[in-house]
Amino acid sequence: MARFRKGQKKEVPGINTGSMSDIIFMFLFFFMVITTIREATLFVKINAPSATEVQKLERKNLVSYIYIGTPIKTNLYGSESRIQLNDQFATVDDIAEFIEQERAARSEYDRQFLTTSFKIDKEVKMGIVTDVKQELRKVGAYKINYSTKRGSVLN
């Protein structure tokens, strides 16, 4: 029969670090794939209207977004509709400068394909949207679209 030794302590084997870097890179790649990158932090509520005839934009990197809606922090900014350009509130007069900055950030070839996309809350009055469109017309930004969510118009 075998004899068991009671007094000897066994050491815990060390962690194998050979595959540790592989595991870290797998986690890194996994989180890079599942993470979505938001272009701007929204300060306005956007509940886009529904539309049945929608098309996807081919080159989203050539789209400049203008957000119009009521501020999320109504106690700080009020409840009237506001315009947001990138990560800050703006007025109608700031739109010309915004479009010029967007054009300057693009190559000469890509400037002709630059699209201005409106992300507008469905409760916003049309007056502020018309003012924004008039300002875009002054700077020659004629290519615009309205962002919607897919669905029935009757909802």
Quote the pLDDT of residue 40.
Answer: 76
Q: Which two tokens stand for residue 59?
A: 């080159």
Does 25 fall in a domain? no
Does 38 fall in a domain? no
pTM over 0.75: no
Domain total of the chain: 1
Quote the pLDDT of residue 14.
Answer: 77
Domain that holds residue 129: 58-148
Does 110 fall in a domain? yes
Does 51 fall in a domain? no
State the CATH number of the domain containing residue 106: 3.30.420.270
Does 108 fall in a domain? yes
Does 62 fall in a domain? yes
CA dist 101 and 64 (Å) reads 10
Question: What string of DSSP letters covers 17-40?
Answer: -TTHHHHHHHHHHHHHHHPPPPSS
Quote the pLDDT of residue 153.
Answer: 62
Low-confidence ranges of the chain (pLDDT < 70): 1-8, 38, 153-155
State whether residue 59 is helix, strand or coil.
coil
Region for 7 from its dihedrals, namely left if φ exceeds 0, alpha if ψ lies in -120 to 50, beta otherwise: alpha
